[in-house]
Each structure stands twice: as C-alpha cells, then as structure tokens.
Amino acid sequence: MLNRILAPAFKQVKNIEFLPAKNFTLDNGIHLHVVDAGDQDLVRVEFIFNNVNWNPSKPLQAYTVNSMLTDGTSELTATQIADKIDYYGAFLQTDYTYDHSSVTLYSLTKHLKVTLPVIKAIITDSIFPQDELDTFIRNQKQSLTVNLEKNDFLSRKTFSNVLFGDSLYGFNTTAETYDKLTQKQLVEYFKNAYQLSNCTIVVSGKVTSETIKILNDLFGNDPVPISTTIENMFSFPSNSIGSEHYTEKPEALQSAIRIGRKTINRKHPDFPGLQVLNTVLGGYFGSRLMANIREDKGYTYGIGSAIVSLKNAGYFFIASEVGAEVCSKAIDEINKEVLILKTQPVPDDELVLVRNYMLGSLLGSLENAFSHADKFKNIFFYGLGYDYYERYIHTVKTISAEQIMQLANRYFNTEDFEKVIVGRK
C-alpha cells in the first residue's frame, strides 16, 4: 500500500552518457563540429566568433556589432532579413557574451539551402546603417536609464567593475559611452572579428550528409585569410580586498546585496569540487542560504550563490535583495553560513541530497542534441575534453565532507570578499 507520508527513497544517477561532437573539415580547412541526434528534421547552426581587440576607448564595439548584425546588408534591409527567415519558419538570433559573439539559425533541414545564405550575408556583408545605429544608441541609453534605477542591476554592474575594473569583464558603461559609438568603429570591428579564420561552426540536431554538403558549398569554398586579430589583454585591478562598496538609495524599501571575489574557472582542477561547495551554500532551492535567510529569518524572497567561469577569469558571488532594515543582519547570517562550512563537515544526509541534485540536474540538462552541443561548447572553448565531465561526475559522487571543508577554507575567506550594497542604510 502506498504511504503518502514517507518520501520516496533517493536513488543516485548511475550513468550519464554524452553525445560527443564529431569533427569535420570543410574544403577550405574550416572546422565543423557536429552533434547528430533526434528524429525531427530540425537543425541548429551556430557561428561563434571570438571577441577580439577589446579597446577601453571603444568598449562597446563587439556588443554593438553583434546586436546590429540583423539591421541590414548591402542587399538586404532589416525587414527583408526578418521576412526571409520568417517565411520558412526558421528562427535567427544573435548572442553576445564577454568572450564570444554568435549568430544562430534554427531551421528545418529542407530549408537550409534558402535560410543559410541569409546567415552568410549577415556575417560577411553587414553594413550597420547610420539610422539603425542612431536608433540603437537611443534605445540603449533609455534602457540604461531605467535599469540604473533598479538596485539589483546597479549592484551587478558595480560588482563587476569592483572585481575587474575597466576591462572587458567589468567596464562601467554609461550613457556617454554609447554616444561615442560610430559606424566606422562598427565596420572596423566587423572586418576584424567576423571572418572564417575566427569562427567556430557547431551544428546540432538531425544532421545529414546533405546538411554538411550545403555548409561546405556555402562556406567551404571561400578563401580563409590569415587572421589579423589579436588576443584581448587582461590586467585586472589589484583592488582593496574585502572592501565595502555602498550606493545610497534613501527611498529604497529593499537593499541589493552582492558579495564575492575573483576565483578559478573551469580549467582549474578544483572547479568541480568548488561547484559542490557552492551548491551546498547557495546553489539550489534547498541550500543553506535559502534555509536560513529566506525560510528561517524571512529576510528575502530569494538568495543564491554561483561560480561563474569566464575564459580568462572566474568569480564567485552571493546575491539577494533584502528588506533595507535587515540588510546588516542578512550579511551577518551569510558570514555565519560561510564560517560553518569552513569549520563543520557537511552531514552525510545533506551531502547525499546535494549529490543527487547535481547529478540529476546534469542528466536533466541533456534532453536533446542542442543541449549536448551546449555541453560540447563548455569544454571546447576552454581547451578541455570530455574527460572533464568524467572528472566532474566522479567528484560529485565521491567528494568527502572533509574535502569540501578544505575547499571552503581555500576559497571562502569572508575577509577577502568584496561587498556591494545598493539601498538604504
């Protein structure tokens, strides 16, 4: 008879299988990475470009170029680009991160011959019309003005700048920064960055030999120039460790808190263990920060922590918005939870719960070819192989409470944490 009072027993995930990407080479030497799976005649084609030549005097080049790629070529207007893609039931998106910019096409395989040429036009012939640039600048400035009134946005912005200064990862963008954008800057950056020698192509979905042939016919016959781009130079500030950065908002009912420090990225051997430690602290709904500061104290609707991996850095942060009158108490409780992790082993039952959560989340994130391709990108751009996931799974399954405590003492020194608070004292 079913007992509805007792929770079902946990069963740890035993096997997690990845669909490794297969590597192909187009006729001109460009590498193509393919994750072939699924029965639906749908394919995702990603053109991923390294962000290059970051210049503090022109900090918004890469972001703006990526944002305006669909605003027109020498032969197609923005409306014509949208109409051509929509007509065939396809979907086009551009994405910008600190390290990469991408152009992604979702299309039925039978329509690739007509949808992919539109993508080629975008990544080889964008012209960034002045009227579209004027509109972009106006909209971005309006959006920034609105966002600067939000405590959470301002705390994120300040935190990035505190950690990374006016570098690619932390530049303090203002309305005046947008005013410095010119069409000449965009064309210059586009010619440097959007070239096949700086491009990684990842295709996922139902990928047939015909799909690869179409890609080769369109992109494999173009000459590949020797790249003239250079790597971004990173020199992060040696800021005062453990300082408090306060922005007064006298009328605020809530204060936004962001606490953390620079740390390791995915390439470091401690990274999987640090992810386990972070999950215990604030990485899921049942975490210690949620149990204490939301459930027990009632200071917030939500609080969490995360480890962020960037190509040239990594950082850890804790973030929440709490009632202004309990801001100091919330920070005290955060420090208390970190101290407990440094001095007391995680109990076995809690560690079992965290292991099951992390393994279940990983398994659940592998639902289709697109998600398997995302896992491939996570390792490819760090120069890692699929053995990274083997080490990750092994760490989650076997890490001891003692090892977690050692990691907490190595990486979670609250005296080194930068503390950003936006709200009311």
Per the model's pLDDT, the better-predicted residue between 228 and 52 turns out to be 52
In the numeric block, which tokens belong to residue 20?
Answer: 């490794």
Q: With cut-offs at 50, 70 and 90, classify the pLDDT of residue 7.
A: low
Separation of alpha carbons 89 and 228, rounded Å:
37
pLDDT of residue 187 exceeding 70:
yes
Per residue, the 3-state secondary structure of the chain, as one string, reads CCCCCCCCCCCCCCCCCCCCCEEEECCCCCEEEEEECCCCCEEEEEEEEECCCCCCCCCCHHHHHHHCHHHEECCCEHHHHHHHHHHCCCEEEEEECCCEEEEEEEEEHHHHHHHHHHHHHHHHHECCCHHHHHHHHHHHHHHHHHHCCCHHHHHHHHHHHHHHCCCCCCCCCCHHHHHCCCHHHHHHHHHHHCCHHHEEEEEEECCCHHHHHHHHHHHCCCCCCCCCCCCCCCCCCCCCCCCEEEEECCCCCEEEEEEEEEECCCCCCCHHHHHHHHHHHHCCCCCHHHHHHHHHCCCCCCEEEEEEECCCCEEEEEEEEEEHHHHHHHHHHHHHHHHHHHHCCCCHHHHHHHHHHHHHHHHHCCCCHHHHHHHHHHHHCCCCCCHHHHHHHHHHHHCCHHHHHHHHHHHCCHHHCEEEEEECC
Question: What average pLDDT does the segment 333-360 reach?
Answer: 97
Separation of alpha carbons 334 and 300, rounded Å:
12
- What are 97-109's pLDDT values in tens digits? 999 999 999 999 9
**pLDDT at site 360:** 95
**pLDDT at site 84:** 95
Percent of the chain with pLDDT over 90: 86
**pLDDT at site 211:** 96
How does the average pLDDT of the chain come out, rounded?
93
Q: With cut-offs at 50, 70 and 90, classify the pLDDT of residue 222.
A: confident
The conformational region for residue 205 under phi > 0 = left, psi -120 to 50 = alpha, else beta, is left
Q: Phi first, then psi: give them for residue 94, nearest 5 degrees.
A: -115, 145
Distances (CA, A) of 210 to 18, 164, 217, 397: 24, 46, 10, 42
Closest CA to 322 of 334, 314, 312, 313: 334
- What are 274-283's pLDDT values in tens digits? 999 999 999 9
- What are 45-72's pLDDT values in tens digits? 999 999 998 889 999 999 999 999 999 9
pLDDT of residue 161 exceeding 90:
yes
pLDDT of residue 11 exceeding 80:
no
